[in-house]
Chain A
């Protein structure tokens, strides 16, 4: 490891701990280390540094700071593409550096699919600022008008004379100029874009395929200990007695340590438990197995999934809290006629990123330096600070590459564990979660029961539509005993159903949480889209209509739906209605695109072959999916084709948009076919990939094609919106192929494989 060589040479002063440059070592060329800033960022120490997001050195190297976490969506390529484009930088001379947690970068909470949405403008501004300063430096040097000069591929060009000066040679002079105001900046027009909307190779891919890429699991430093923690098997449980004698006798085990239990609400606090600290991971795991602990479970020991499912379903059959109401559904239902009811169920799910959660921390003299596979380094700073009773300014959190995140790594309980243990051990401590820990101590995706009811008129159109969902809410993680979904959860595919219905009511029932509930890739949209898009398909078949035509009719005319005017507490993913209206024309457009590319309607379904369609707007992105399925006599599924059409507004990195949707189809396959987490006696039953299977290569869709509508609407989300429509589209396809309607996931529990 290079870090050890570096520290042995005494390169690092006492102000910078050895590990502080773990990331720096990975990213920076060796000679740059000596004059890198305290955070190890060369951008901060570069000659020209007009924005926190970039630095330019006299050798022409552009350092672009990515302050959002890379977990596979390609953000360390996409954000730098925007900045480099506006700077007119040569991509080959760009070095991407990962920012530690720091408020100066703005939000670093990498979830909710909003990195490009929120930082497209700041990145452009940073690039345009530096470009203007370089132009001004050149104009002054040549004694020409600034307006006669332009930036062009790492040079400033004086257009009338053809004179050029490289960005590197202008850096020092540019650095002496005042940083221009935003009003002075001239942004490139879209036809001048060099990288935005074009194919740019992923920045980290070469390191990933050679094993050089450094993930949280890979962080090492001298003098570190490896820790494995035995946590209370039931949320809120406590140990009654601990016998660590046998654990301490394992060769390589250095000590044990207690992590105190959390104080409710649990939020991001460490769960508590008993840690074994050792010279390597293996010794820590062996020692942990030898701990003898007896636990007191507390009130959540009652949690039992089969019973809880019945309770959720019973609640869903009763009137709940109204979260959207149009007209009067009850009046319609009282008229009788064709009333259709259906109940849907989606179990708890675990994130199960390939890299179990992991963090290293080093506590020294009241300060903590952490290296974490985290989606939210600022939340990590706050959580560590609260756990140790220190100021968050005394917590540095470096962000490694994440071996997947899916929302789990937004919750930094494990970073707090590392810090608590380092303080006790007086050494850097890396807390390694096993796969079993990762699944059992997840912030689970909520289990949900949905009840749907509609009345159809003679033409088969719904005159009334009632929808109820019941699930233990994410709110319960932050407010003890919260039982109703928050506006954000209800706004994910429930209050925002885009159908043109004369009588429409959405409700939410109460459900107590007995485990930690968190957000997982596309969150409540998963179960809400499953119920809504399955029910729409059911009604189409009840009406004897083609599901595609019926869906388009349900959506109705092209319009922008104003939910606030209907009295809905709707957050629209934080987007303003002016910039991000709920536009049914865009939804219908992607439906038509997906149906066309799938050749919808060309082949008669049945005899084990079928197609299903679903459309869903989430994270401000419009998505339609057609799934093709083959089902043999044993219920064995094959998914030859998935067709996505996506309107996410302006698209910066089309290649990573396609890859995110290809991945969403596989994630959706796991949700639909395989995933189920259950509890018994308050304990999570599943533990590893044998009993919590996720889709493997032979189960995944064979081919997923992604049609991206690139337009000039403001950029919207990419990482999550591909997931919600997939499970209902698959189940709708299975119905078309077999006539069997599955209303409870996973499919593997209902005769399919």
Chain B
């Protein structure tokens, strides 16, 4: 039995310990905010927080999430929108929107450890998250805004 916390709630899981966290979140819990994009950690659509750090849920087996605190996009702004989400709305970042929960979780994790990222820091931190619609320019602007506190 694997115990973990999802968005602040205690959960226990008794299935295949090799099953990636992504499918537990999506298929078992119905938390479909984290997306399936590649299944191999290449695109970042499945990004969630594990103890505050960004991880790829599609390559994180349940056994490695044991005892961890997981936050998904559903939990990120549950009380009040996160400044990154506010900036995303202000800059109208999403096009199709599919990769955006992952982008937002990645950006929020970046600002947690690096509140004033340079453009290079942003490129570095966000280069694992693909957006096929090509919203990168707005992602950068939104992160910069959130970092400057303009989007609060």
By a beta-carbon cutoff of 8 Å, the part of chain A in contact with chain B is 1, 4, 70-74, 201-202, 204-215, 217-218, 220, 226, 251-252, 279-283, 285-286, 352-356, 401-406, 432, 434-435, 655, 659-660, 662-667, 669-670, 688-690, 694-698, 700-704
Residues of B within 8 A of A701 (CB): 137
A659 x B92 contact (CB < 8 A): yes
Report how far A668 CA is from B131 CA in the complex, Å: 13
Residues of A within 8 A of B23 (CB): 280-282
A695 x B27 contact (CB < 8 A): no
Residues of A within 8 A of B134 (CB): 662-667, 669, 695, 700
Can you list, as one digit per residue, whether each of B29-53 has a CB less than 8 Å from chain A (1) or not (0)? 0111111111110110100000000
B95 x A73 contact (CB < 8 A): yes
Give 18 A-B contacts (CB < 8 Å), ordered by A residue: A202-B92, A205-B89, A205-B94, A208-B97, A210-B77, A210-B85, A211-B32, A212-B74, A220-B27, A279-B27, A282-B23, A285-B39, A354-B98, A354-B130, A404-B133, A435-B43, A666-B136, A688-B42
Residues of B within 8 A of A205 (CB): 88-89, 92-94, 97
CB distance from B58 to the nearest CB of A (A): 10
CB distance from B38 to the nearest CB of A (A): 4
Which of B34, B122, B135 sits near A663, CB closer than 8 Å? Answer: B135
Confirm or deny: B132 has a beta carbon within 8 angstroms of a beta carbon on chain A: yes
Residues of B within 8 A of A669 (CB): 134
Interface residues of B in 98-148 (CB under 8 A from A): 98-101, 104, 122-124, 126-140
Residues of A within 8 A of B85 (CB): 209-210
B98 x A210 contact (CB < 8 A): no
Residue of A nearest to B140 (CB): A697
A213 x B130 contact (CB < 8 A): no
Report how far A252 CA is from B34 CA in the complex, Å: 22
Report how far A432 CA is from B133 CA in the complex, Å: 21
Using A354-B96, A702-B137 as known contacts, say yes or no to A211 and B101 having CB atoms under 8 A apart: yes
Using A352-B132, A700-B134, A700-B136 as known contacts, say yes or no to A201 and B92 having CB atoms under 8 A apart: yes
Which of B28, B40, B89, B124 sits near A280, CB closer than 8 Å? Answer: B28
B32 x A209 contact (CB < 8 A): no
Residue of A nearest to B101 (CB): A211
Residues of B within 8 A of A664 (CB): 134
By a beta-carbon cutoff of 8 Å, the part of chain B in contact with chain A is 15-16, 19-20, 23, 26-28, 30-40, 42-43, 45, 72-74, 77, 81, 85, 88-89, 92-101, 104, 122-124, 126-140
A217 x B77 contact (CB < 8 A): no
Which of A210, A280, A285, A403 sits near B81, CB closer than 8 Å? Answer: A210
CB distance from B59 to the nearest CB of A (A): 12
Residues of B within 8 A of A283 (CB): 16
Report how far A404 CA is from B88 CA in the complex, Å: 18
CB distance from B117 to the nearest CB of A (A): 12
A689 x B96 contact (CB < 8 A): no
Using A662-B135, A695-B134 as known contacts, say yes or no to A689 and B95 having CB atoms under 8 A apart: no
Using A210-B85, A211-B73, A694-B130 as known contacts, say yes or no to A404 and B98 having CB atoms under 8 A apart: yes
A659 x B35 contact (CB < 8 A): no
CB distance from A318 to the nearest CB of B (A): 37
Residues of A within 8 A of B97 (CB): 72, 204-205, 207-209, 213, 215, 401, 403
Report how far A554 CA is from B26 CA in the complex, Å: 56
Residue of B nearest to A667 (CB): B134
Report how far A285 CA is from B38 CA in the complex, Å: 13
B132 x A697 contact (CB < 8 A): no
Q: Which 9 A-B pairs have the closest CB atoms?
A: A211-B33, A666-B134, A403-B98, A72-B95, A208-B97, A72-B96, A211-B73, A663-B134, A218-B32
A689 x B127 contact (CB < 8 A): no
Residues of B within 8 A of A281 (CB): 23, 26-27, 36
A354 x B99 contact (CB < 8 A): yes
Report how far A285 CA is from B128 CA in the complex, Å: 24
Using A211-B72, A402-B96, A435-B40 as known contacts, say yes or no to A697 and B123 having CB atoms under 8 A apart: yes
Residues of B within 8 A of A694 (CB): 130, 132
B20 x A697 contact (CB < 8 A): no
Which of B33, B40, B129 sits near A697, CB closer than 8 Å? Answer: B129
Report how far A688 CA is from B43 CA in the complex, Å: 10
Residue of B nearest to A216 (CB): B98
Which of A202, A354, A434 sits near B132, CB closer than 8 Å? Answer: A354
Report how far A704 CA is from B32 CA in the complex, Å: 32
CB distance from B14 to the nearest CB of A (A): 11
Residue of B nearest to A642 (CB): B137
CB distance from A358 to the nearest CB of B (A): 9
Residue of B nearest to A435 (CB): B38
B39 x A434 contact (CB < 8 A): yes
Extra inter-chain contacts (8) besides given A354-B99, A354-B132, A356-B37, CB under 8 Å: A72-B133, A208-B100, A209-B85, A354-B37, A435-B43, A694-B132, A696-B129, A698-B127
B130 x A209 contact (CB < 8 A): no
Residues of A within 8 A of B100 (CB): 208-209
Residues of A within 8 A of B89 (CB): 201, 205-206, 209
Report how far A70 CA is from B93 CA in the complex, Å: 15
Which of B28, B39, B74, B93 sits near A435, CB closer than 8 Å? Answer: B39
B123 x A698 contact (CB < 8 A): yes
Residues of A within 8 A of B77 (CB): 209-210
B40 x A688 contact (CB < 8 A): yes
Residue of A nearest to B139 (CB): A697
Residue of A nearest to B129 (CB): A697
Report how far A262 CA is from B80 CA in the complex, Å: 51
Report how far A72 CA is from B100 CA in the complex, Å: 12
Residue of A nearest to B85 (CB): A209
Residues of B within 8 A of A202 (CB): 92, 94
Report how far A659 CA is from B39 CA in the complex, Å: 28
B74 x A210 contact (CB < 8 A): yes
Report how far A209 CA is from B38 CA in the complex, Å: 20
Which of B38, B133, B135, B138 sits near A689, CB closer than 8 Å? Answer: B38
A282 x B133 contact (CB < 8 A): no
A663 x B32 contact (CB < 8 A): no
CB distance from A505 to the nearest CB of B (A): 36
A689 x B42 contact (CB < 8 A): yes
Report how far A74 CA is from B135 CA in the complex, Å: 13
A704 x B74 contact (CB < 8 A): no
Using A208-B97, A354-B43 as known contacts, say yes or no to A432 and B36 having CB atoms under 8 A apart: yes
CB distance from B11 to the nearest CB of A (A): 15
Residues of A within 8 A of B136 (CB): 666, 695-697, 700
Residue of A nearest to B20 (CB): A282
